[in-house]
């Protein structure tokens, strides 16, 4: 090797040694910076990857960096702060994660809940349980206001639903295809679902047994579960007994159309000023489910919107017509608010048999994966069997404690398939709670109806204040 070649080789070696030294220095700088960041992150919130129940990685919000806890006082402080949280409101949220606006279809059995809305003064409510699940699964991106939360219906205490719909921002696994970089808190639009979080599966794993998510759908940002709803449909279950079902159906047909329903609701003069609502469908159907010859029936009512307790008030008056203590014409009289400006005092129908059946929207198609659908079916089948066992216990009590006249045999309800699960659960609960009585009729006396001897005609009863009188009273307090 010539002298010139040796000098060139020496220069190459020197440059390589210099680059190696620079890399070593850079590694030391990065290690020092990394240690500093770890120290900072241990004192604040950041996202990490959690292992879900199925072993798949899901990115989560609001997870503090894991570090050994050596201070018992700090643990007590954390527990105290956690106990003071209001689910769904005091969420510690990372805002730099992708999110998308979605609608969720929800079913729930309302017996143990104080209504759907979390604004109720009592717990639990369906909404509070849903927000607990959202917090636990780290799907929330903020409180109700920040997540643009809306609900379709606000069902009361004891009322169930198989088609309730809510809408809000949820965390997303997707990234916008046209994004130049991973922008913090980017909004996912469009209808893409491949690679997205299985919201149904994730939420149903942590929700209580009497609440389930049936499906989800991506929706536009201008979607409102309340105001975008085209129609709502309610179902009310009842035992037919000797009720005059044709008269009830003929009377119910009078509800169809746009009417002032102030005599068929609980009036809220402070917040509601228009009591006109449109009913588009009314029908009474019967099933093949029977008990002691008593057939299970259902009233179906569909309309664009409903007033507070409207369906239960309508059903209560229909029961009076079915029992023969009121005429069909009483519906016309109560809908004529000029002749009947004040609502007669009468009790509403019980809340347990009422179900929010469905909420209708335009171009909203709910998604449920095959795995989530199978898990949901298994869960509902198990719930159905559990309620049937409870019904069997009450059936045994009926046979042993309340023998029938003339040695008549009581036939037990047949097996209830999953397709009619929602049709029977509310009735089974009501059957147990009401001690085999419902709406003024006895199920133990060969299906006959016991008419109330002291029945006072509706139009002869004491009345509630009119809307105008309520408004005047409110104004006098201001």
Contact 271, 317 (CB under 8 A): no
Closest CA to 41 of 58, 66, 61: 66
- Residues ≥6 apart with Cβ < 8 Å to 314: 252, 255, 264, 301
Could you give the residue numbers annotated as active site? 156
10 Å Cβ neighbour count for 243? 23
Give the C-alpha separation, 33 to 10, whole Å. Answer: 35
Say which DSSP state 410 is in.
Answer: P
Pairing of strands 49-51, 150-151: unpaired
- Across the strands, what pairs with 302? 233, 281
Distance CA 44, CA 15 (A): 43
Cα–Cα nearest to 411, from 426, 398, 429: 398
Helix (H, G, I), strand (E, B) or coil at 86: coil
Place of tokens 């009729």: 441
**Count of C-beta atoms within a 10 Å radius of residue 109:** 25
Strand partners of residue 359 = 232
Q: How far apart are CA 333 and CA 344, in angstroms?
A: 11
Q: Where are the alpha helices (DSSP H) in 137-285?
A: 199-204, 245-253
Beta carbons of 176 and 100 less than 8 angstroms apart: no
CA 179 to chain centre: 34
Pick from 55, 52, 145: which is nearest to 93 by CA?
145
The rounded distance, in Å, linking the Cα atoms of 172 and 66 is: 23
Three-state secondary structure readout of 313-373: HHHHHHHHHHCCCCCCHHHHHHHCCCCCCCCECCCCCCCCCEEEEEEECCCCCCECCHHHH
> Nearest 10 degrees: CA dihedral of 379, 381, 384, 389?
-100
Give kind and range of the element (H or E) at residue 133.
helix 126-136
d(CA 429, CA 367): 30
């Amino acid at each position: 090797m010539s002298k010139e070649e040796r000098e060139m080789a020496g220069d190459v070696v020197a440059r390589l040694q210099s680059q190696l030294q620079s890399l070593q220095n850079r590694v030391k700088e990065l290690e020092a910076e990394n240690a500093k960041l770890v120290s900072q992150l241990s004192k604040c919130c950041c996202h990490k990857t959690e292992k879900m129940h199925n072993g798949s990685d899901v990115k989560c919000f609001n997870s503090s960096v894991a570090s050994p806890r050596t201070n018992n006082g700090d643990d007590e402080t954390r527990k105290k702060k956690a106990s003071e949280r209001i689910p769904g409101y005091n969420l510690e949220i990372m805002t730099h994660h992708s999110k998308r606006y979605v609608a969720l279809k929800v079913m729930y059995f309302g017996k143990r809940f104080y209504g759907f809305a979390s604004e109720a003064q009592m717990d639990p409510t369906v909404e509070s349980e849903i927000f607990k699940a959202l917090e636990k699964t780290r799907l929330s991106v903020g409180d109700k206001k920040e997540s643009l939360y809306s609900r379709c219906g606000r069902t009361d205490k004891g009322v169930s639903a198989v088609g309730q719909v809510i809408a809000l921002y949820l965390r997303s696994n997707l990234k916008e295809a046209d994004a130049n970089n991973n922008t913090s808190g980017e909004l996912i639009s469009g209808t893409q679902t491949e690679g997205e979080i299985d919201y149904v599966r994730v939420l149903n794993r942590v929700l209580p047994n009497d609440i389930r998510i049936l499906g989800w759908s991506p929706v536009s940002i201008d979607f409102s579960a309340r105001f975008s709803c085209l129609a709502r449909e309610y179902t009310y279950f009842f035992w037919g007994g000797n009720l005059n079902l044709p008269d009830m159906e003929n009377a119910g047909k009078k509800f169809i159309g746009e009417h002032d329903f102030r005599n068929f609701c609980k009036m809220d003069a402070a917040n509601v000023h228009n009591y006109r609502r449109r009913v588009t469908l009314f029908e009474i159907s019967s099933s093949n489910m029977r008990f002691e010859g008593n057939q299970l029936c259902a009233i179906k009512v569909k309309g664009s919107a409903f007033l507070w307790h409207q369906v239960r008030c309508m059903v209560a008056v229909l029961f009076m017509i079915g029992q023969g203590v009121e005429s069909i014409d009483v519906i016309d009289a109560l809908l004529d608010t000029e002749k009947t400006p004040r609502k007669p005092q009468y009790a509403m129908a019980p809340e347990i048999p009422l179900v929010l059946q469905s909420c209708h929207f335009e171009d909203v198609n709910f998604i449920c994966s095959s795995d989530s659908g199978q898990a949901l079916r298994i869960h509902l089948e198990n719930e159905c069997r559990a309620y049937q066992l409870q019904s069997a216990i009450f059936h045994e009590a009926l046979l042993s404690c309340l023998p029938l006249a003339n040695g008549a045999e009581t036939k037990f309800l047949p097996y209830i398939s999953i397709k009619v699960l929602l049709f029977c659960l509310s009735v089974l609960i009501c059957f147990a709670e009401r001690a085999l009585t419902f709406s003024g009729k006895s199920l133990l006396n060969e299906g006959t109806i016991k008419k109330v001897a002291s029945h006072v005609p509706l139009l002869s009863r004491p009345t509630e204040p009119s809307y105008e009188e309520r408004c005047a009273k409110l104004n006098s307090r201001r």
